[in-house]
Amino acid sequence: MIRNFLTFSLAAALVTLPAAAAPHAQSTHDLLDRIQFDAQLARRDAGRLESYTSDRLDWMAQGLQLTTLRDEINSLGRNVYRLQTEKQLSPAEQKLVDRVGRRVNLMGNDAEDAILWGRNHRDVLWNPQYEKHVRLLSSNAARLTDEVKAVVHFESNVESDERPQAGAPSFHGKR
């Protein structure tokens, strides 16, 4: 009876070991999905804001759009920070994620500059200085989506490389 219990316990432990590692992998994958989604939203909303400046919409419309963008950038920043602090990233992955982090910081600066300019110059939003902030924000949002795609693509290639090929021997541990 004790032997059956030990066999069952050992089998249960072996079954749960991969499951215990899965939350980390799932967490990284979920963060990348969230970052990619937020980057796409920020790109769309930055493009919308850029169209507002060329249409010379009032500060209220542009301010609301900037607030939306600021919230998306803050969400991106939090999720990129969480991803940067993951201990399981390879050096190549870390380099890509750090590049995304720098881009998010640039976007945050661009958004803050646009917000400050808009608050102080509500009647002259078509000023070249304000339009420059908005163009930079839109440009950085577009670059961010490309950089996030590179991270996601890299991660999916790493995952597929780690899967054993059909008929290939399966090795565990370090290569």
pTM score, whole prediction? 0.71
Task: Give the model's pLDDT for residue 16.
Answer: 36
The answer on pLDDT for 173 being more than 60 is no
**CATH code for 26-160?**
1.20.120.520
Q: For the chain, what are the domain ranges?
A: 26-160
Per 3-state DSSP, what percentage of the chain is helix, strand, and coil (rounded to 5)? 85, 0, 15
What is the chain's mean pLDDT, rounded?
76
Residue showing tokens 């066999």: 7
Burial class (CB in 10 A: 0-12, 13-18, 19+), 63: middle
DSSP reduced 3-state for 169: coil
Task: Give the model's pLDDT for residue 21.
Answer: 40
pLDDT digits (tens, 9 = 90+) for 124-165: 767 788 888 889 999 999 999 999 998 888 877 766 665 444
Determine the residue type at 127. N
Burial class (CB in 10 A: 0-12, 13-18, 19+), 143: middle
Under a CB-based contact definition with an 8 Å cutoff, are residues 139 and 110 in contact? no
Task: Give the model's pLDDT for residue 142.
Answer: 93
- Residue 77: pLDDT band (50, 70, 90) is very high
88 contact partners, CB below 8 Å, separation of at least 6? 24, 28
State both tokens at 26.
């799932």
